[in-house]
Amino acid sequence: MTSGITRHALLRCFMRTRRLISEHRTPKPLCSDRSYATGEIKSPKIYTKTGDKGFSSTFTGERRPKEDHIFEALGNTDELSSAIGLAREFCLDKGHTFTDQLDKIQCILQDVGSNIATPRSSAREIHRKRTKFSPQAITDLETWIDHFTEELPPLTNFILPSGGKSSAALHLARTVCRRAERSVAPIVRSGEADPDVAKFLNRLSDYLFTVARYAAMKETKEEKIYRRPE
C-alpha cells in the first residue's frame, strides 16, 4: 500500500480530475426522464493490497521496500502532523488564537511529504514542478516565532515539557518534529529532496517550543523548571 501522505495526494488529484470532468459536462434538464449515463465514478477504496508484500510506491512510481529511508521519513512526517492535530484540539478547547497557524502547518506538512515522496533521481520535470517546496513557509514560521517571543518572559532556565495539556502536547509534537528532521536530513544531503524541507522542519521545532511556552503563559500554567536531583 502506498504511504498515507502519497495516497492522500493521489486522492486529491483524483477528486480534482473528477471536478474538472463534471464542470465540462453538459447539464441535464432538471425534468429529464431519460438518463444517458453509462456509470458512476466511484471513489477509490482505502485499501489497495499493493503493499501486502512489503513494498510501496513513491510519487514517481518507484517500488521500494517499506523500510526504505523515504518511507521512514514519510511516516515520521505523518506522525508529526497527527501530534500537531492532537495538540491543536487541546488548544482549541482553551481558545488559543494560534490554532489557524497549526492548521496551516499541517497542510504544509502534506507538501513536505509530497516532496520527500518524489526522489529527484527518478523524478521527471512534471513531478518536480508539482512537488516544489516554497521557502515562504520558513519565513512565516520565523515571523510567528518572533511575534510570540516578544510577549514571552526571557528564558533563563531549562524547562521540562509541562505547562498544561496544550503546552505539553505541543512539546510532544516538537520531539516528533526533531525525529522527522533527523530522518529527512540524509535524504536532503543525498540530493533526493529539497533542502528547504529540512530547513522548514528545523524551524518548525523552534516554533513548537515557542508556542508551547506561549500556551502555558496564556493559560497561566506553571512551566516545570529543570533542577538537578540532590
Class of domain 57-219: mainly alpha
What's the grid cell of residue 90? 487541546
What does the alpha-carbon distance between residue 73 and residue 84 come to, in Å, rounded to a whole number?
17
Predicted model pTM = 0.79
Coil/strand/helix, residue 159:
strand
What does the alpha-carbon distance between residue 97 and residue 104 come to, in Å, rounded to a whole number?
13
Exposed, middle or buried: residue 10 (CB in 10 Å: 0-12, 13-18, 19+)? middle
pLDDT per residue, tens digit, the chain (230 aa), is 444 444 444 444 444 434 433 433 344 433 444 443 445 667 788 888 888 889 898 888 889 889 989 999 999 999 999 999 999 999 999 999 999 999 999 999 999 999 999 998 888 888 888 899 999 999 999 999 999 999 999 999 999 999 999 999 999 999 999 999 999 999 999 999 999 999 999 999 999 999 999 999 999 999 999 998 88
Amino acid identity at 182 = R
What is the residue whose three cell numbers read 528564558?
Answer: 155
What's the grid cell of residue 81? 502532523
Q: Where are the chain's structural domains?
A: 57-219
